[in-house]
Structure 1
Amino acid sequence: MTAAVESRRFRPSLWATLITVPAVLVMLGLGTWQMQRLAWKEDLVRRVEQRLHAAPIPLPSAIADPEALEFRPVTVTGRFLNDKELLLVARPRQGQAGYELLTPLQRPAADGGGVVLVNRGFLPMDKRTPASRPESRVEGPVTVTGLVRLPQPAGWLQPGNRPGAESWMRLDPPAMAASAGLEKVAPLAVEMIPDPARGNAPQTGMLNGIQPLVELPNNHRQYAFTWFSLAATLVVVYVLSQRRRTGPAS
């Protein structure tokens, strides 16, 4: 006597199909979009790298398109307005909390005048007051070589700036200018590039800029893989769940 063998066939229900097909199409679309974003981000990284390693150019007197200068090495000449300095809360350096010192630089009339914020480097917490670091006060004409940085949008969890406070959470040239009573301030900052010959001793107030670091998160490949994997998983679940019994095979 031969035992009956149960047969299963793929017989999808209407509702399962109406739910699964659009969901899979959306996931595939999101995965494709992330791959497009990946190509865009990789091109952006290449362009930023080219700018970072370009020769410094004089900072234009009139800045019509700040984004065209972002991450570009520039030189700028002027006099530091030491009594208008600003403190920007910095990431800890070697486990030490502190600030980045932004000193406005008054440009000469020959260069169009105006003011540029210069990020001169890291200061420990105990050097926040000018009296604790007289070495940081630079008088007379100076020429600074640095990297152009633009304000970035605040993150969801990042505290906002409070004009009038002793320190700032993020770069905001217009608000900083208004707080310090400055006019004609460039809509960017110049992040001073370290000079090996000058040395750097923030614990004494001697500042020597910031090592150029540009962080451009690129997680698009992982996101694309996630969406494509979810689409494939949903298809497998759909097919297996819609196989129905059709009775013993003859």
Structure 2
Amino acid sequence: MDRAEQKRNLASTMEARRKLPPLLLSSQPVSAENLEFRTLTVSGRFIPALQRLIANRKHLGKPGFHVITPLRIEGSNRHLLVNRGWVAAVNNQPPVIDTPTELVTLSGETNRPSPPAIELQFDLNNPAPWPFLTLDNYRVWSGLDILPFIILQSPDSPYGFVRSWAQARPGKGMHLGYAIQWFTFGLLSLVLWLRLSLSRLSSWVTAQENQ
């Protein structure tokens, strides 16, 4: 029940923050928790040399990659990772990515990428596309001072690719279902205990009467 309430509160927070106007991201310190699910606007310069592709991403059933490009925030030494969207594979290989180097202004929703349930180790220095993205892996590989989140670039923001982001909404139903199951197990256990107790009491009474 507590987990269901947490999911309910998270869904409410997501909905409220997504309705807020875009927030201008500057060089000031920021908190990932306070900005989660917010739409941000940021100006800076891409660093093409430290761009990474994330493999095994599909769009409309076609194989491709997500393009992750670091953006050096204007007036700061900090960097923000931008998921610029999906690009199709060319003969099962990554395509050539066009990345501007002039000052750009982008917008997108904040996101904190997480590893898959089974996190397999891989060579960060291998030039091949990574199987998944985590901020820790990228920080170790690049040596950049990066913010504790990325942004999923908005569809109407320039210099991106195919951006069809799923609007995740936490569901409470699964946790309520688990709660009902455990309450049912508890009730059945109680009924079984009472029945066995009454059966033993009846046997004891009968034994006393026969003595």
The 2-side partners of 1:170 and 1:233 are apart by: 45
Establish whether residue 184 from structure 1 lines up as the match of residue 145 from structure 2. Answer: yes
What does residue range 1-250 of structure 1 map to in structure 2 within 5 Å?
35-109=1-75, 112-126=76-90, 129=94, 132-134=95-97, 136-152=98-114, 154-160=115-121, 162-165=123-126, 166-180=128-142, 182-195=143-156, 207-218=161-172, 219-242=174-197, 243=199, 244-245=202-203
The 2-side partners of 1:41 and 1:207 are apart by: 32
Larger radius of gyration: 1
| Residues 161/65 of structure 1: CA separation in 2 closer, same or farther (3 Å cut) | farther
The 1-side partners of 2:131 and 2:35 are apart by: 23
Name the SS for the 1:92 alignment partner. Answer: strand
User: Percent identity between the aligned chains?
Assistant: 23
| Residues 214/63 of structure 1: CA separation in 2 closer, same or farther (3 Å cut) | farther
| Residues 212/195 of structure 1: CA separation in 2 closer, same or farther (3 Å cut) | farther
The 1-side partners of 2:93 and 2:51 are apart by: 11
The 1-side partners of 2:96 and 2:116 are apart by: 32
Q: Deviations 1:8-49 (Å, cap 9, x if unpaired)?
A: xxxxxxxxxxxxxxxxxxxxxxxxxxx122122201110111
Q: Deviations 1:139-172 (Å, cap 9, x if unpaired)?
A: 42211110111233x3442434541132233332
Given residue 114 of structure 1, which amino acid in structure 2 is its aligned partner?
A: R
Runs of 4+ that moved beyond 6 A: none
Contact 2:27/2:74 (8 A) holds in 1: no
The 1-side partners of 2:62 and 2:168 are apart by: 21
- Displacement of 1:212 in angstroms is 4.8
The 1-side partners of 2:88 and 2:44 are apart by: 26
Q: How many residues are treated as equivalent by the alignment?
A: 199
RMSD: 2.7
Query: More displaced, 93-102 or 41-50?
Result: 93-102
The 2-side partners of 1:189 and 1:173 are apart by: 8
Name the SS for the 1:171 alignment partner. Answer: coil
The 2-side partners of 1:232 and 1:76 are apart by: 55
| Structure 2 residues without counterparts, runs of 5 or longer | 207-211
- The TM-score with structure 2 as length reference comes to 0.80
| Structure 1 residues without counterparts, runs of 5 or longer | 1-34, 201-205
Contact 1:116/1:186 (8 A) holds in 2: yes
